[in-house]
Structure 1
């Protein structure tokens, strides 16, 4: 039976949606993860998500993600800093992760994980972004997203889909900072992963082989993630500057009247 404390709706700002999608598209071999921050209307049971934290993966897996207590604590501290900066209540409201090449629906592991989070906060929510799903009719990759909570149905845990609305918004500085740091996080993940492997290896030839693969991975991150991100940010900058010029011209014209 579904509890009356379930979440009714989630409003997600467009810039957070963009960050989550960009993060999900960085790899089609493993799942990525992050935490969602915003404010919640306890009375109406509505979450308004306006920021996110991209998490560093200590163990990259193709079919699961794990968020440590330390990462939850760090995200909570980030939410507190945002609350002071924006002068409004902000807290960790949920988590997101990707499903590359598979359906958007949560697995049994996802639902169990979501259930654990809801024991701490009944309004905690999960988002899943399905990426690299090829649509044979339109001949292009699809991106799908689902928003869900878990509930107990007899002896079984099941998912409950939550209404999700993406709200139009401009890129906030704190979300721009998050997406700008994405490349650094991905590079550090690769370095940590290869250092862990090298610690268990004494053979110099094997170490050299692993270093070559690490270099390839870092080059891939720079070429496939960092450069497109820079190009996108440059294009946004040009668009904003153009808009500023148009507004200044409009101001001048209005001043003449």
Structure 2
């Protein structure tokens, strides 16, 4: 039996929100996924998510994602390393995935997955990012996010919404590394997918055809993910330098007035 213990609130750091959003927007054809790391207050039943791990998809599907035990183990090891580095408790608190072109609400598969993890940790939480939803009135796409747990209803599992608060925070180094590694992970997924298909094909023309599609996929990642990401980070750097210069100027003005 799962303990009747549920989360009251989830605090999500703004930089983790940025990483998850960036990850969700990398593809509108398949769902993406990752794990959430932080610490939980056992007294108030509040989770504080301050890091995440982007997971490598071994099987790309438009309507579902799965987390392997190996990936969960790797994320747990990452949380332990962060705990030592930051000298504070850190562990895997939940998971996130995307819903491209569909509503933000969890499916029956999502609820079963969530319920399975709550059997191991009653305070485990799920986040869903709904992306590429068309707004016909404004002619634009909008993003939605939901924070949920599963609860046992009379006949089936039900969604239990959890209050989500996005907490302002600077872009931490370990989350910056996660964003920087995103293109590499996407490219490796394409290489692995191509290798699996090629191993069953002996025809050279078919292999040449598949190689061409792999090249196109990698070029697409570079143009739509790597390049915009670099431009965004460069703009962030300019903003930080400008802010630093303004603060130094303000400090010098205070110093001169004191003298």
Structure 2, unaligned runs of 5 or more: none
Instruction: Write out aligned runs for 1:1-257 (5 A).
Output: 4-256=4-256, 257=258
Report the 3-state secondary structure (helix = DSSP H, G, I; strand = E; otherwise coil) of the residue aligned with 1:138. Answer: coil
The answer to whether the 8 Å contact 1:35/1:75 transfers is: yes
Q: Deviations over 1:85-141 (max 9, x none)?
A: 111100000000000000000000000000000001000000000000011122110
Moved >4 Å (runs of 4+) = none
Could you tell me how far apart the structure 2 residues matched to 1:240 and 1:74 are?
Answer: 33
The answer to whether the 8 Å contact 2:3/2:122 transfers is: no
Could you tell me how far apart the structure 1 residues matched to 2:114 and 2:172 are?
Answer: 28
Offset at residue 161 of structure 1 (A): 0.6
Q: TM-score, structure 2 length as denominator? A: 0.97
Q: Deviations over 1:2-47 (max 9, x none)?
A: 9641111100011000100000000000000000000100110000
Q: TM-score, structure 1 length as denominator? A: 0.98
Q: Once superposed, what is the RMSD of the aligned Cα atoms?
A: 1.0
Could you tell me how far apart the structure 1 residues matched to 2:122 and 2:4 are?
Answer: 10
Q: Deviations over 1:35-81 (max 9, x none)?
A: 00001001100000010000000000000001000100000011011
Aligned residues: 256
Could you tell me how far apart the structure 1 residues matched to 2:204 and 2:3 are?
Answer: 59
Could you tell me how far apart the structure 2 residues matched to 1:119 and 1:8 are?
Answer: 18
The answer to whether the 8 Å contact 1:39/1:90 transfers is: yes
More off after superposition, 37-46 vs 148-157: 148-157
Could you tell me how far apart the structure 1 residues matched to 2:219 and 2:18 are?
Answer: 24
Report the 3-state secondary structure (helix = DSSP H, G, I; strand = E; otherwise coil) of the residue aligned with 1:122. Answer: coil
Could you tell me how far apart the structure 2 residues matched to 1:59 and 1:254 are?
Answer: 59
The answer to whether the 8 Å contact 1:3/1:151 transfers is: no
